[in-house]
């Protein structure tokens, strides 16, 4: 079989993910991949906050356009960057086993955090300058640290850590998965428990997107697809789809699978952390998508729609200032 053409962004993390998929596909199916780097709108934004520029889909649009045009056979993404509803004709064909989905608190080099929640509370006490460009993280952390100042931070991981160590921030909050994949796990000062900061839907999951009906590509990718991770991702994406949210909405969703059961934890938080809706719903693992939808329905019953309306108005105000 001729090599597959694999599209990816050019960041260090994206390239790590692309090579991980390519190696696994070749090892399991014997099919090689040719990696093609595609520069996305998100890559061209530089330091602009995502909420002001249109959200995280900016990191996948050009890859999806290339798939639809037939110039690549598959695209590798951080699944949390993908829209809850994919463009017509595209689908997620495979996911790799999930890395740690939690958010990580990262302090300047040389500073440590005491074990447990008390250590996290101490690190977030006072008026710390916390670097994060995530509306979801800001909203949830505002509940833990009401007087914190949240400052946007963009750039690749090395750039972010350099800014932290240079004194631009008192702490960063980043995905533990990205730190570990880039051999920076030692920089994790503390992992934020899911109970305190629910991860982004799909966080820690590498997803492979393809054209529907491409049997050649589907056959190769079937050899690497992880069933439990796929079910967890389906449940978490169902939460977002049912809520009508997007990448830049304050929505957290995390699904864990134990045996033949799946439990979905969801949260929607006001942008300033002043109020929240939370739900936890369980069901059969093979009904992952339905369980995620039921979790979203529970959130709506607890006022999530009003909170999301508030978040959309706040985002519209920010976007209006850019026009």
d(CA 158, CA 179): 10
Q: What is the pLDDT of residue 45?
A: 56
Q: What is the pLDDT of residue 220?
A: 97
DSSP class of residue 199 equals: P
Burial of 191 (0-12, 13-18, 19+ CB in 10 A): middle
The superfamily in CATH containing domain 103-191 is Periplasmic binding protein-like II (3.40.190.10)
The CATH number of the domain covering residues in 227-323: 3.30.160.40
Extract the tokens encoding 160. Answer: 């972010």
d(CA 175, CA 133): 12
Q: What is the pLDDT of residue 172?
A: 98
Q: What is the pLDDT of residue 319?
A: 45
160-174 pLDDT per residue, tens:
999 999 999 999 999
Contact 270, 139 (CB under 8 A): yes
Q: 167 — alpha (psi -120 to 50), left (phi > 0) or beta?
A: left
Residue 167 CB partners (closer than 8 Å, separation 6+)? 108
262-313 pLDDT per residue, tens:
999 999 999 999 999 999 999 999 999 999 999 999 999 999 999 999 888 8
Extract the tokens encoding 86. Answer: 């994919």
Q: What is the pLDDT of residue 154?
A: 85
- From-to residues of CATH 3.40.190.10 in the chain: 1-96+205-225, 103-191
- From-to residues of CATH 3.30.160.40 in the chain: 227-323
Helix or strand or coil: residue 149? strand
81 labelled catalytic: yes
Mean pLDDT by 10 residues, the chain (323 residues): 94 97 98 94 55 60 96 97 94 98 96 91 96 95 96 92 97 97 97 97 98 96 98 98 84 97 97 95 98 98 95 67 39
* Set 81, 103, 170, 214: catalytic member: 81
Domain 1-96+205-225 indexed as CATH 3.40.190.10:
yes
């Amino acid at each position: 079989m001729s090599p597959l053409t694999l599209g990816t962004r050019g960041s260090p993390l994206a390239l790590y993910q692309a090579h991980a998929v390519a190696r696994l596909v070749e090892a399991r199916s014997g099919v090689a991949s040719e990696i093609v780097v595609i520069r996305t709108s998100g890559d061209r934004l530089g330091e602009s906050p995502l909420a002001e520029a249109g959200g995280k889909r900016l990191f996948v649009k050009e890859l999806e356009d290339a798939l639809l045009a037939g110039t690549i056979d598959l695209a590798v993404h951080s699944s949390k960057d993908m829209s809850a509803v994919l463009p017509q004709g595209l689908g997620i064909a495979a996911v790799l086993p999930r890395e740690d989905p939690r958010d990580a608190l990262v302090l300047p080099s040389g500073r440590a955090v005491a074990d447990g929640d008390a250590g996290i509370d101490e690190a977030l006490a006072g008026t710390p300058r916390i670097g994060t460009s995530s509306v979801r993280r800001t909203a949830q952390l505002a509940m833990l640290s009401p007087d914190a100042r949240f400052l946007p931070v963009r750039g690749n991981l090395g750039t972010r850590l350099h800014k932290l160590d240079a004194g631009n921030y008192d702490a960063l909050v980043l995905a533990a998965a990205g730190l570990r994949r880039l051999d920076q796990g030692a920089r994790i000062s503390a992992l934020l428990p899911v109970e305190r900061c629910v991860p982004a839907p799909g966080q820690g999951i590498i997803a492979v997107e393809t054209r529907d009906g491409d049997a050649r590509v589907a056959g190769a990718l079937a050899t690497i697809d992880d069933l439990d991770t796929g079910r967890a991702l389906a449940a978490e994406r169902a939460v977002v789809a049912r809520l009508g949210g997007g990448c830049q909405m304050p929505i957290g969703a995390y699904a864990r699978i134990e045996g033949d059961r799946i439990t979905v934890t969801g949260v929607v938080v006001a942008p300033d952390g002043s109020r929240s809706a939370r739900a936890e719903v369980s069901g059969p693992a093979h009904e992952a998508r339905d369980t995620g939808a039921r979790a979203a329905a529970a959130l709506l019953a607890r006022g999530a729609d009003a909170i999301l309306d508030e978040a959309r108005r706040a985002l519209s105000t920010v976007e209006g200032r850019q026009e």
